[in-house]
């Protein structure tokens, strides 16, 4: 970086032969995180969520700007030092530099703009998938829907909440997975609104449909257990429709499948094959979920919640 915070703008040195990858995301108090969140948690979540967009493109994140709108009761040294510490920790972990921004007075709102790079023409998009490609997801699904349930109910039965709360406030952007997948994935998206919704976006952009096998979905043991204690929710709903997991959903053409299977087997990539793509048909929903007898399941959208004001 040539010139960072303190001038009218930052002056940065793009890497020759690379495309620039740009994404902005906003978090609003009471909508994207509860008022009870600590400043560290808010900062950490804001940066992780934005880094996830870089992961989905197979980009190396490099720089970010921060636009922080703060109410007067939070414009104090305690809150700001907590926020800065949370931001610095994640920034250091993912080697991204804060290069500028703006601080304003108003209701708590955080907008980050991430800048990353990919070698010319190698970025992952939503639009490259084809019929016959396999569908994968990284990590496990439904963790954050379960965490939301804990936060909203102030419920932490049997000490099951620690890992899940950590997953909510520090979702792990799949930067390394994105870089690994860049040469082999035909399309990729990050799961911010739930698997069915986001895979639906990928299908529409690629002109295909997807059939997902419910019994193949990677769901953590604690999420299954926690769901058993929660009325009205099922771990499967959380995995299919729960937002905020920030795992990657990606597709792989048949000729590249053995590479990905090898990576998974050797532990180089934590991912699970969950379904397959077919030719597009605009008359049906782009994503179908079937049980092991290929019976189509009805998806309940109950898993995803916003925070009330």
The least distance separating a second copy from the CB of residue 287, rounded to whole angstroms, comes to 18
Give the nearer residue to a second copy in terms of CB position, either 191 or 236: 191
Give the nearer residue to a second copy in terms of CB position, either 267 or 308: 308
Whole-angstrom CA distances from 71 to 25, 74, 76, 189 are 20, 6, 10, 34
Give the nearer residue to a second copy in terms of CB position, either 113 or 251: 113
Q: What is the CA radius of gyration of the chain?
A: 20
The least distance separating a second copy from the CB of residue 13, rounded to whole angstroms, comes to 6
Distance, in Å, from the CA atom of 69 to the CA atom of 75, rounded to the nearest integer, reads: 9
β 208-213/271-279 pair status: antiparallel
Give the nearer residue to a second copy in terms of CB position, either 41 or 69: 69
Whole-angstrom CA distances from 27 to 24, 67, 82, 110, 248 are 10, 11, 17, 5, 20
The least distance separating a second copy from the CB of residue 53, rounded to whole angstroms, comes to 4
The least distance separating a second copy from the CB of residue 14, rounded to whole angstroms, comes to 4
Half-sphere exposure for 291 (CA within 13 Å, toward CB)? 7
Give the nearer residue to a second copy in terms of CB position, either 9 or 259: 9
Catalog residues that contact a second copy under the rule CB under 8 A: 2-3, 6-14, 16, 18-32, 53-54, 56-57, 59, 63, 65-67, 69, 99-102, 104-107, 109, 111, 113-116, 118, 123, 125-127, 188-190, 205, 306
The least distance separating a second copy from the CB of residue 57, rounded to whole angstroms, comes to 5
Distance, in Å, from the CA atom of 49 to the CA atom of 145, rounded to the nearest integer, reads: 15
């Amino acid at each position: 970086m040539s010139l960072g915070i303190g001038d009218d703008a930052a002056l940065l040195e793009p890497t020759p032969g690379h495309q620039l990858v740009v994404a902005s995301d906003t978090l609003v108090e009471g909508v994207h995180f509860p008022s009870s969140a600590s400043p560290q948690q808010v900062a950490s979540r804001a940066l992780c969520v934005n880094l996830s967009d870089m992961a989905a493109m197979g980009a190396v994140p490099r720089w970010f700007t921060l636009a922080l709108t703060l109410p007067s009761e939070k414009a104090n040294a305690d809150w700001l030092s907590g926020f800065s510490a949370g931001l610095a920790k994640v920034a250091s972990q993912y080697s991204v530099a804060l290069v500028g921004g703006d601080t304003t007075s108003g209701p708590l709102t955080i907008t980050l703009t991430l800048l990353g790079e990919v070698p010319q023409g190698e970025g992952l998009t939503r639009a490259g998938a084809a019929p016959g490609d396999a569908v994968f997801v990284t990590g496990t699904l439904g963790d954050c829907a379960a965490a939301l349930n804990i936060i909203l109910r102030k419920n932490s039965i049997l000490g099951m909440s620690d890992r899940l709360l950590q997953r909510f406030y520090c979702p792990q952007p799949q930067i390394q997975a994105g870089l690994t997948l860049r040469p082999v994935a035909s399309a990729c998206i990050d799961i911010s609104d739930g698997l069915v919704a986001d895979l639906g976006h990928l299908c529409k952009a690629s002109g295909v449909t997807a059939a997902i096998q419910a019994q193949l979905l990677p769901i953590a043991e604690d999420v299954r257990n926690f769901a058993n204690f929660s009325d009205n929710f099922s771990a499967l709903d959380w995995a299919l429709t729960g937002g905020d997991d920030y795992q990657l959903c990606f597709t792989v053409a048949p000729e590249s499948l053995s590479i990905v299977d090898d990576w998974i087997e050797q532990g180089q990539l934590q991912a699970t094959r969950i379904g397959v793509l077919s030719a597009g048909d605009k008359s049906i929903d782009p994503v179908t979920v079937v049980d092991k007898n290929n019976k189509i399941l009805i998806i309940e959208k109950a898993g995803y919640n916003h925070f009330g004001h």
